[in-house]
Amino acid sequence: MKKLLLTTALCAGVATGAVAQEDPIRVGILHSLSGTMAISETTLRDVMLMLIEQQNEEGGVLGRPLEAVVVDPASDWPRFAELARELIEGEGVAAVFGCWTSVSRKSVLPVFEELNSILFYPVQYEGQESQRNVFYTGAAPNQQAIPAVDYLLENGVERFYLAGTDYVYPRTTNQILEAYLMAQGVAAEDIIINYTPFGHSDWQTIVSEIRDFGSTGRPAAVVSTINGDANVPFYNELAAQGISAEDIPVIAFSVGEEELAGIDTGPLVGHLAAWNYFMSVDTDENLDFIDAWHAYIGDDSRVTNDPMEAHYIGFNMWVEAVEAAGTTDADAVIDAMIGVAVPNLTGGISSMGANHHITKPVLIGEIQDDGQFDVVWETPGLVLGDEWSDFVEDSAPLIADWRAPLSCGNFNTETGTCGGSEMAQ
């Protein structure tokens, strides 16, 4: 059964014979290689294999080679939990890099807590969580969603259509955005929230509603948390109904270079996306990363994207923490992770906060006809991910600090009590 569940990849390129003689450190890769999310997650498997190979060429970790153990949860959320358990208990991995959707992350949280292992989660998410066994290297809402609507407000947008896929991340993000927009003086009647299933393809009615919403003479925009392959027919329908970025701009949180690769980008030109990294960023670190990626994958047309950079940062942080701790023991590595700082690809240094979130710049890019992004706005410095939103009443007084003596992911600053690692959804 194990052979049916798992594909084990021993990465080549060990630098020395001494390293090769040591038992390998096993690293789990938990990303969908089939199903609706494969369009986004397959590349994350590939970049992890590249990073592991590069590390082996540099001598491994603690003088031992790394061995990648790859599984395919196939965009099936309960399957993520099953395979996470198999990776930790059956395969003995020291850490897991994986998940994309928040529902897949929520599925595996109890497994990592029960078995006391480590997950690196590389994708933007809704916040409202800080778990001891998880390091969140993707964006929290204050590192993507809130700066995005701030950008729209600064550019005169008065009406907001929040369109999302129907699961945890869009619903919680839009709860935060609705409260934030109203706090900025946007009236309730100028906010519409709409959800569609994964893989939704018939957008005619919804886009007609968006067109009517934006036809009042007051500037309107769409804030999109639409995920996966539903984005292609959504943008195509916008174009079919004659809605351009000049008329009603869309700013997306789940559309990046990988999602744009291989499709007709004509209907998307001029629309926006908010991320912490774009392939078009012109830094030495990024150019070196792109060159290494193209050499590894053997295809100069393959793009890079934000979650790949998040894995790059998280993996290098894990290597630093393991070396500092002198062991792969989860407790020691978790303690050593706080304060670790490594280069990101935008030219800065990202560090791990006590809340298990990292510092990142926020960038807004305009989609170009070649599938790349022209950066039109960015924060002047790096922003630390905020795990608990100040704009939701129940979470406003909460903080996370995993350092002793607090060691709490849900500390209420008003009552002085620790309520656990996450808030009920």
Determine the pLDDT at residue 154. 97
Q: Which residues contact 333 (CB under 8 A, 6 or more apart)?
A: 94, 95, 118, 318, 321, 322, 325, 327
- pLDDT over 50 (residue 421): no
Contact status, residue 343 vs residue 286, Cβ threshold 8 Å: no
Distance CA 288, CA 290 (A): 5
- Total number of domains constituting the chain: 2
Three-class DSSP category at 417? strand
Provide the pLDDT for residue 36: 85
Nearest CA to 146 out of 181, 182, 190 is that of: 181
CB atoms within 10 A of CB 322: 22
Same domain, 150 and 88: no
Q: Can you tell me the mean pLDDT for 290-301?
A: 97
**Coil, helix or strand for 342?**
strand
Quickly state the pLDDT bin for 17 (edges 50, 70, 90): very low
Mean of pLDDT over the chain: 93
DSSP H helical segments within 221-368, as ranges?
231-240, 257-260, 284-297, 306-325, 330-337
What is the CA 212 to chain-centroid distance, rounded? 32
Asked whether residue 424 carries a pLDDT value surpassing 80, the answer given is: no
Backbone angles phi, psi at 406, to 5 degrees: -70, -55
Do 123 and 165 lie in a common domain? Answer: no
357 bridge partner residues: 136
In a domain, 410, yes or no: no
* Domain limits for position 230: 142-281+364-384
pLDDT tens column, 186-203: 999 999 999 999 989 999
- For CA atoms 326, 31, 24, 117, the dihedral sign is positive
C-alpha to C-alpha distance for 27 and 51, rounded to whole angstroms: 11
State whether 109 and 133 are in the same domain: yes
Q: Which residues does residue 359 pair with via DSSP β-bridges, in sequence order?
A: 384
Q: What is the pLDDT of residues 80-116, one digit of tens each?
A: 999 999 999 999 999 999 999 999 999 999 999 999 9
Residue 421 lies in a domain: no
> What's the pLDDT at 3?
36
Residue 113 falls inside a structural domain:
yes
**Residue 335: which CATH number?**
3.40.50.2300
pLDDT, residue 420, reads: 54
pLDDT at 185: 97
Question: What pLDDT, on a 0 to 100 scale, did the predictor assign at position 21?
Answer: 61
Tell me if 412 is assigned to some domain. no
Residue 394 maps to a domain: no
Q: How far apart are CA 188 and CA 372, in angstroms?
A: 35
Answer yes or no: is pLDDT of 335 > 50.
yes
- Please tell me the distance from the alpha carbon of residue 225 to that of residue 207, in angstroms, as a whole number: 15
Same domain? 123 vs 170: no
With respect to residue 425, please indicate whether it lies within any of the assigned structural domains: no
pLDDT of residue 28: 98
Please choose, from the candidates 304, 372, 256, 371, the residue with its C-alpha nearest in 3D space to the C-alpha of residue 44. Answer: 304
| Mean pLDDT, residues 229-234 taken together | 90
Q: Does residue 11 have a pLDDT over 60?
A: no
pLDDT above 90 covers what percent of the chain?
88
Distances (CA, A) of 78 to 104, 107, 173, 199, 304: 7, 6, 23, 18, 29
Same domain, 26 and 108: yes
Q: What is the mean pLDDT of residues 61-75?
A: 98
Q: 91 and 42 share a domain?
A: yes
CA nearest neighbour of 100 among 132, 127, 129, 77: 77
Residue 408 is assigned to a structural domain of this protein: no
Phi, psi of 32 (to 5 degrees): -70, 125
* Residues 124 and 150 reside in one and the same domain: no
For 368-420, write each residue's pLDDT tens digit: 999 999 999 999 999 999 999 999 999 999 999 999 999 999 999 999 999 85
Residues 348 and 368 grouped into a single domain: no
Whether residue 293 is found in the same domain as residue 252: no
pLDDT at residue 365 greater than cutoff 90: yes
Residue 98: name the closest of 159, 33, 149, 150 by CA. 33
Q: Give domain status of residue 407, yes or no.
A: no
> What is the CA 365 to chain-centroid distance, rounded?
17
What DSSP element (H or E) covers 25? Answer: strand 25-30
How high is the pLDDT of residue 425?
A: 36
Question: Do 235 and 252 belong together in one domain?
Answer: yes
Chain position carrying tokens 């004659």: 242
Instruction: Please list the residues that pair with 195 across neighbouring strands.
Output: 164
**In the prediction, which pLDDT does 337 show?**
98
pLDDT at residue 356 above 50? yes
Same domain, 229 and 287: no
Through-space distance between the first and last CA atoms of the chain, rounded to whole angstroms: 34
User: Are residues 239 and 353 both part of a single domain?
Assistant: no
